[in-house]
A and B are shown apart, each in its own frame.
Chain A
Amino acid sequence: DQQVKQNSPSLSVQEGRISILNCDYTNSMFDYFLWYKKYPAEGPTFLISISSIKDKNEDGRFTVFLNKSAKHLSLHIVPSQPGDSAVYFCAAKPYSGAGSYQLTFGKGTKLSVIP
């Protein structure tokens, strides 16, 4: 059951360039999408989110794009920095009222930013 798919297990990018991480989903009921970053031996750290009523959300170097018709979202990091090297998880939740937060996660993409 892969309702949230991150098809690239790893990505290497040169420092200063753009990192683009992709995520596809199959459940039409998902209406809120999140990206988390995870370092080894730490918990997932929230990065940025987007509601299904938007197609873009930006926060500093991080931008998330949502294409509902394609059921696809992407995370852009510009410019990429060595400290961005981590595993990035895409997650999604269906609308089910306040306080319901059964997130479905992708398997993650390991980003390596090369100095």
Chain B
Amino acid sequence: EPEVTQTPSHQVTQMGQEVILRCVPISNHLYFYWYRQILGQKVEFLVSFYNNEISEKSEIFDDQFSVERPDGSNFTLKIRSTKLEDSAMYFCASSSPGQGGNSPLHFGNGTRLTVT
């Protein structure tokens, strides 16, 4: 069964450094997303991406965050200057079109980002 893959599984970085989290969505999916889960808290929406542009973003997704689809397979999340509070599990997800917009999201296994 096709799956969303994320690399690395764990990233440790120092405060103020830039990090790039990488994702390969399911190949025939057209909608891509980033969610995050801070330890002990809910899974939270960050951003959705379609047709090479951001379609929605949350308040969390401020100017230090950016997303990119650099080629036909990868989808990346960049955090320009990491803060301690960015430490979380970051999940990439993708979905296919159809069903009137109601198709389930498929998540990767996440990248655990630790900012020290």
Could you tell me which A residues sit within 8 Å of B by CB distance? 32, 34, 36, 41-46, 49, 51, 89, 91, 93, 95-108
Contact = CB atoms under 8 A, between A and B. Distances in A.
Given A32-B102, A43-B91, A51-B102, A101 B31 contact: yes
A103 B43 CA distance: 9
B8 interface: no
Given A43-B4, A98-B97, A101-B33, A89 B107 contact: no
Contacts of B95: 101
- Classify the secondary structure of A's interface with B: loop
B87 interface: no
A14 B97 CA distance: 39
Contacts of B97: 98-99
Given A89-B43, A105-B42, A105-B43, A100 B55 contact: yes
Interface residues of B, number: 30
Nearest to A32: B102
Interface string B69-103: 00000000000000000000001010101001110
9 contacts: A36-B107, A43-B6, A49-B104, A98-B100, A101-B56, A101-B95, A102-B56, A102-B58, A105-B44
B45 interface: yes
Contact of B101 (A42, A44, A46, A100): A100
Interface in B6-48: 6, 30-31, 33, 35, 41-45, 48
